[in-house]
Amino acid sequence: MRQTPTTETGRPRFFRPRVTALIGVGLAVALSAGCRPKPKGLGQPWLYVANTAGAVIQIFGVQVGGPNNLPQLIQQPGGGVPVTSGAPLAIHVVGSTLYAATGSGAVAQYTIDRFTGNLSLRGTISAGSPPYAIAATTTTLYVANRGSSNVSVFSIDASGNLASLQTASVDAVNAIQIDGSGKFLFTGSRANGATGPKVCTHTIQSDGTLPAGPGNCVAVSGAPEAMPYSGGVLYLLFNAPASTGFGNSNWVSAWTVGTTGNLSQRGQGLDVGAANAAGLASSVDGKFLFLPRQGGFLTISAADPLQVVASATPITGSQWCVWPPAAAGGALVDPRGKVLYVSDPVGAAVGNIQGARISSLTIDGGGALSPILCDAVGGKPISMAIFLP
């Protein structure tokens, strides 16, 4: 998940051809370089995709005005912004700054140009290694470092610059999340044996640091992969090995967050199958969860009990844009609530393009997903972040 600014004022723009799925007619139209609309600049959202294989951050303009007036992704030319401090494993946007945690154990800080979407490196700061996830409030950034079994805590100043506050010990931390009020930090650990796997709550202190100790922890039956939070509930996607009795499968469970941050499981977990899955996102209204996995894009009702209410699958094998992810990827809901973005680091096994891609799907009032388009990206895209000017 990385990239550095590669475009300059006046440089000719070149866009890689992409395929757009026309909803309702089952057709695909290839848009050539000359057919693509140009980014409008101010007011246009920007989607950033961290690409581990290329050690770049790719930049996409999000523009309304394509077929059926649906949002379109317009990739910036140049192949992305190179991340010189190592492959970006997780990215996050706070204000007008993009933070990229890299495999070398650093966090790169980029200023976002709201007109062009370009990124300008301001500097880097040391973190643990390797970092797997980022969460943040407006004043504090938290980086989960699975390899070094800790969370790096940084203050964020008015300019978006980071300063180290603390290194908090959290065993084999793989996933991280913050509640809506900014009171609690949740960590998911993949540790085995007596030390895990588990999910823990850490109370965030007034200066952004975390209390000493392991936190308030609950044991779970598999390795945590993603932890969206919505409306007082923490949702957990985890992979359960056969030794747990669940079978070698992926599960989603819901945990009510108490006033002290204590977690209590709500109802029964939902088995979503053994196919690869790593991204789980919540709708803006909190009614649905979206899970891209090999075999289909699932919409899960967030009510009790959790249940699959819709599944989006391709109509024909040629619609490579909407073919379900072949491997673990990320899922991100646009803050405006209308679109789901999915990264696929492997790509479809059928169709006219078989490489890695970014897909976008509209979200209707009932939570159902409909494909808009996808764009080839190359490398291994995983983490995503969006900037709203």
Strands 140-145 and 150-156: antiparallel
pLDDT at position 294: 73
Mean pLDDT of 17-36: 30
On the question of pLDDT at 246 being above 70, the answer is no
Mean pLDDT of 342-349: 74
pLDDT at position 329: 76
DSSP string, 309-359: EEEE--SSTT-GGGSPPSS---EEE-TTSSEEEEEESS--SSSS--S-EEE
On the question of pLDDT at 344 being above 70, the answer is yes
How far is 116 from 9, CA to CA, in rounded Å? Answer: 10
pLDDT at position 328: 64
Indicate the pLDDT class of residue 77, thresholds 50, 70 and 90: confident
For residue 153, what are the contacts with CB-CB under 8 A and spacing of at least 6? 140, 141, 142, 164, 165, 166, 167, 168, 208, 209, 210
What six digits make up the tokens of 8?
A: 């300059």
pLDDT at position 71: 77
Indicate the pLDDT class of residue 92, thresholds 50, 70 and 90: very high
**Short-list 59, 52, 141, 168, CA closest to 103:** 52
What six digits make up the tokens of 139?
A: 């004043």
**Short-list 168, 222, 234, CA closest to 198:** 222
Residue with the bigger pLDDT between 281 and 321: it is: 281
On the question of pLDDT at 361 being above 60, the answer is yes
Residue with the bigger pLDDT between 316 and 60: it is: 60
On the question of pLDDT at 13 being above 50, the answer is no
Mean pLDDT of 108-127: 96
Chain mean pLDDT for the chain = 82
How far is 196 from 153, CA to CA, in rounded Å? Answer: 23
**Short-list 363, 257, 278, 377, CA closest to 329:** 278
Indicate the pLDDT class of residue 243, thresholds 50, 70 and 90: low
Q: How many residues does the chain have?
A: 389
Mean pLDDT of 240-268: 85
Report the percent of the chain where pLDDT is more than 70: 78
How far is 348 from 332, CA to CA, in rounded Å? Answer: 19
**Beta bridge pairs of residue 111:** 97, 120
* pTM for this model (two decimals): 0.85
Q: Which residue do the tokens 């007036």 mark?
A: 69
Mean pLDDT of 264-269: 95
Indicate the pLDDT class of residue 191, thresholds 50, 70 and 90: confident
What six digits make up the tokens of 111?
A: 């200023």
Residue with the bigger pLDDT between 334 and 355: it is: 334
Q: Which residue do the tokens 């004022």 mark?
A: 9
Residue with the bigger pLDDT between 27 and 64: it is: 64
On the question of pLDDT at 67 being above 80, the answer is no
How far is 389 from 199, CA to CA, in rounded Å? Answer: 34
**Short-list 82, 103, 104, 100, CA closest to 91:** 100
**Beta bridge pairs of residue 164:** 154
pLDDT at position 41: 42
How far is 108 from 49, CA to CA, in rounded Å? Answer: 15
Residue with the bigger pLDDT between 348 and 129: it is: 129
Mean pLDDT of 146-160: 96
pLDDT at position 317: 45
Q: Where are the alpha helices (DSSP H) in the chain?
A: none
pLDDT at position 133: 94
pLDDT at position 313: 66
